[in-house]
Amino acid sequence: MKKTVLARIAILAFAGVLLSGHLWAQTDKSKRPSPPATATGKIKDATITIDYSSPSVKGRKIWGGLEPYNKVWRAGANEATIFSTDKDIEVEGKKLPAGKYSLFMTPGEKEWTVFFNSETGQWGDTNSGDANMNPSKTVLQVNVKPKDLKDVQEKLIYTISDKEFDKGFALSWDKLKVPVSVK
């Protein structure tokens, strides 16, 4: 009887050690298949930061495949992508107040919709696979035109540019760049 109880305790302790090691590994976000990344830059006086998780193409069909057309997407992987600006800015000619927003996008073959949503901190999608965006919290919505890239961009990246001909931010992934004008 004593041996059975001790054996059960030993098994439970061993299982606990294995489980805690697995949970510890989950807290190190850099070990994820889509690790976290940050893009930061200045446009005029505003400092813009985009915090996102960066998935890879891995030979998959991205646009119209992994990421379907005409369906809201979290604009990255894992948690919802976060767009922050410390000053009021104009995005595609529309005012966006200083603040922190979840960034979502709806890919389209010829045009994309970009959403700045006031709800932040949520996982990027729901259990059903839909974007975890509450439409009533959308502060700004703009339409942009994607551009083809000459070469494949394996890992999703965001860039922020203050160059006169390219002022704004862009998402680049696979063979597509999605530029968004900011002033």
Look up tokens 């994607």; give the residue: 146
Q: CB of 157 within 8 A of CB of 54?
A: yes
- Domains of the chain, residue spans: 1-31, 33-181
The neighbouring-strand residues paired with 59 are none
Would you state the pLDDT for residue 31? 81
Would you state the pLDDT for residue 24? 46
Look up tokens 């489980």; give the residue: 19
Centroid of chain to Cα 104 = 8
Look up tokens 């965001």; give the residue: 158
Q: Residue-wise pLDDT tens for the chain (183 aa)?
A: 566 656 566 565 665 555 555 444 457 876 877 889 999 999 989 999 999 999 999 999 999 999 999 999 999 999 999 999 999 999 999 999 999 999 999 999 999 999 999 999 888 878 878 888 999 999 999 999 999 999 999 999 999 998 877 799 999 999 999 999 999
Q: CB of 60 within 8 A of CB of 174?
A: no
Centroid of chain to Cα 91 = 18
Would you state the pLDDT for residue 16? 57
* DSSP type of residue 78: S
- Give the pTM: 0.82
Structure tokens at 172: 């680049």
Query: DSSP for 107-159?
Result: --SS-EEEEEES--SSBSB-TTSSB---GGGEEEEEEE--EEEEEEEEEEEEE
CA distance 42 to 104: 21
Q: CB of 91 within 8 A of CB of 140?
A: yes
Would you state the pLDDT for residue 14? 61
- Which residues, at least 6 apart from 130, have a Cβ–Cβ distance to it below 8 Å? 71, 72
